[in-house]
């Protein structure tokens, strides 16, 4: 499915106005019958997986376990394909009721599927240690060794099957719902600036303007509008923080960041050492801003001067120029990397156009190994956006190359 760009607020043209992605490698559109077919197919496969393996995982031989894992992986890939499409298309227009309806349907369906599959995950996590180690070491299961090892690390933090099902069910109307609400509120928010009503992405670009007065007006607009929304945004933030604290408490994670560290396969001690190294050298940041103030010729550096471009970085970059710069940089690193990154441009795997109700920010979505990643951003032509493009394509290349690892092990840490 290839979207058509629509007119946004008046902005200097960058050549990215029609750079919208083509999602047809996932599904042809929101009415593609393949979506419903895949959803039904995944549920049916989940039923068969449960009938074949519930209560039996710890008694399987290596060949049988391999077959079970491959079937589980296939079901998970379908879930990610449907979920990826729903989220990607909704990101481009969070006010579109049809996109929202598809996202909600996919979210509820994924919760049901997650509850259906939780038995498989828990049986492996709780399998006797001698059996688990024998399976991990067996040559037949070599491809899945990393997943088998890492998933076992979650054993102290998993609850019983009924409890896990309840948490999955309630997430739909809890955490997931609040995140979506926040994104839709911010996507619909407009900021007054010089007689225009700008999206957040367009307004934030003004904070990088060489004109100090323009930066100040942008900062005042941003602060003013966000202050009006402070009660709503504070409530959402506090609710999500409380939800996470509740999950961490139930799962017995020792600190607020432990769950993230486990997901990233890094210890709390390593992360704490990194935090201490950074926080102990705030003087480096102070020196940077002191130097920047001197280069800009300012007596005092205001908050809206933080992102002021240095003289060498002033100016705007057309999309074609940004593409050339990024691909040339990648080519100097390795031709294959440049070739892969080039596909994102030539195959329409990037959504860069500024559009009404498009969510803010940028990301690279790995989707599923059987397809390819997509890059999302809001391109305004600044040097920062060129760097964002290069950054997200770095994730995209990584995700593209990791597809050969399969659904369970392709996600970069």
pLDDT digits (tens, 9 = 90+) for 275-291: 999 999 999 999 999 99
- The pLDDT score that the predictor gives to residue 397 is 97
- The pLDDT score that the predictor gives to residue 411 is 80
Residue 176 contacts by C-beta under 8 Å, 6 or more apart in sequence?
Answer: 107
Taking all residues of the chain, what is their mean pLDDT, rounded to a whole number?
A: 94
Q: Which ranges in 32-144 belong to alpha helices (H)? A: 33-53, 62-92, 97-125, 129-137
Q: Report residue 204 as tokens.
A: 């934030």
* β-strands 191-193, 350-351 pairing: unpaired
Q: Over pLDDT 70: what percentage of the chain?
A: 96
Provide the 3-class DSSP secondary structure of residue 346.
helix
Average pLDDT rounded to a whole number, residues 238-259: 95
pLDDT score of 2 more than 90: no
Provide the 3-class DSSP secondary structure of residue 193.
strand
Cα 36 to Cα 6, 300, 383, distances in angstroms: 28, 59, 42
pLDDT digits (tens, 9 = 90+) for 87-108: 999 999 999 999 999 999 999 9
Rounded Cα distance between 388 and 105, Å, is 32
- According to DSSP, residue 76 is labeled H
In sequence order, the β-bridge partners of residue 365 are 374
What DSSP letter does each residue of 251-262 carry, written as one string? TT-SSTTHHHHH
pLDDT digits (tens, 9 = 90+) for 364-376: 999 999 999 999 9
Q: Over pLDDT 90: what percentage of the chain?
A: 91
**Polymer length in residues for the chain:** 413
- The pLDDT score that the predictor gives to residue 218 is 97
CA angle 247, 253, 256 (to 5 degrees): 75
- The pLDDT score that the predictor gives to residue 311 is 81
pLDDT score of 12 more than 80: no
Name the pLDDT band for 315 (thresholds 50, 70, 90): confident
Average pLDDT rounded to a whole number, residues 308-323: 87
Spell out the domain ranges in the chain.
25-179, 188-313, 319-405
DSSP 3-state percent helix, strand, coil across the chain (nearest 5): 65, 5, 30
Name the pLDDT band for 1 (thresholds 50, 70, 90): low
Q: What CATH number should be reported for the domain whose range is 25-179?
A: 1.20.140.70
- The pLDDT score that the predictor gives to residue 5 is 59
Stated pTM of the model: 0.91
Other C-beta atoms lying within 10 Å of the C-beta of residue 247 = 16
């Amino acid at each position: 499915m290839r979207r058509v760009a629509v007119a946004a607020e008046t902005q200097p043209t960058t050549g990215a106005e029609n750079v919208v992605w083509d999602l047809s490698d996932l599904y042809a559109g929101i009415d593609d019958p393949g979506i419903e077919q895949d959803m039904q197919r995944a549920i049916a496969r989940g039923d068969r997986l449960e009938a074949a393996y519930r209560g039996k995982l710890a008694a399987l031989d290596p060949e049988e376990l391999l077959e079970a894992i491959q079937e589980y992986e296939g079901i998970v890939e379908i879930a990610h394909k449907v979920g990826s499409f729903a989220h990607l298309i909704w990101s481009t227009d969070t006010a579109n009721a049809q996109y929202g309806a598809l996202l909600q349907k996919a979210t509820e369906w994924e919760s049901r599927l997650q509850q259906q599959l939780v038995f498989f995950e828990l049986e492996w996590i709780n399998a006797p240690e001698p059996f688990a180690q024998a399976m991990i070491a067996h040559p037949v299961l070599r491809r899945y060794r990393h997943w088998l090892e890492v998933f076992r690390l979650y054993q102290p933090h998993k609850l019983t099957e009924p409890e896990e099902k309840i948490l999955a069910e309630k997430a739909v109307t809890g955490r997931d719902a609040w995140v979506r609400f926040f994104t839709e509120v911010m996507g619909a928010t407009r900021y007054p600036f010089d007689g225009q009503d700008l999206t957040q992405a367009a307004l934030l670009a003004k904070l990088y303007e060489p004109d100090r007065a323009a930066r100040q007006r942008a900062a005042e607009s941003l602060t003013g509008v966000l202050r009006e929304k402070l009660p709503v945004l504070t409530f959402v933030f506090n609710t999500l923080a409380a939800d996470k604290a509740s999950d961490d408490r139930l799962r017995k994670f020792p600190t607020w960041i432990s769950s993230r560290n486990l997901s990233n396969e890094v210890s709390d001690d390593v992360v704490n050492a990194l935090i201490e190294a950074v926080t102990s050298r705030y003087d480096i940041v102070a020196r940077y801003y002191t130097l920047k103030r001197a280069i800009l010729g300012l007596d005092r550096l205001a908050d809206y001067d933080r992102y002021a471009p240095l003289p060498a970085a002033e100016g705007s970059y057309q999309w074609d120029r940004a593409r050339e710069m990024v691909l040339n940089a990648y080519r100097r690193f390795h031709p294959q990397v440049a070739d892969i990154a080039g596909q994102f441009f030539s195959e329409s795997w990037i959504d860069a156009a500024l559009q009404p109700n498009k969510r803010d920010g940028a990301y690279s979505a790995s989707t599923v190994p059987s397809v390819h990643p997509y890059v999302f951003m809001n391109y305004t032509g600044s040097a920062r956006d060129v760097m964002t493009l290069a950054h997200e394509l770095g994730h995209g290349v990584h995700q593209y190359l990791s597809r050969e690892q399969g659904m369970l092990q392709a996600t970069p840490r």
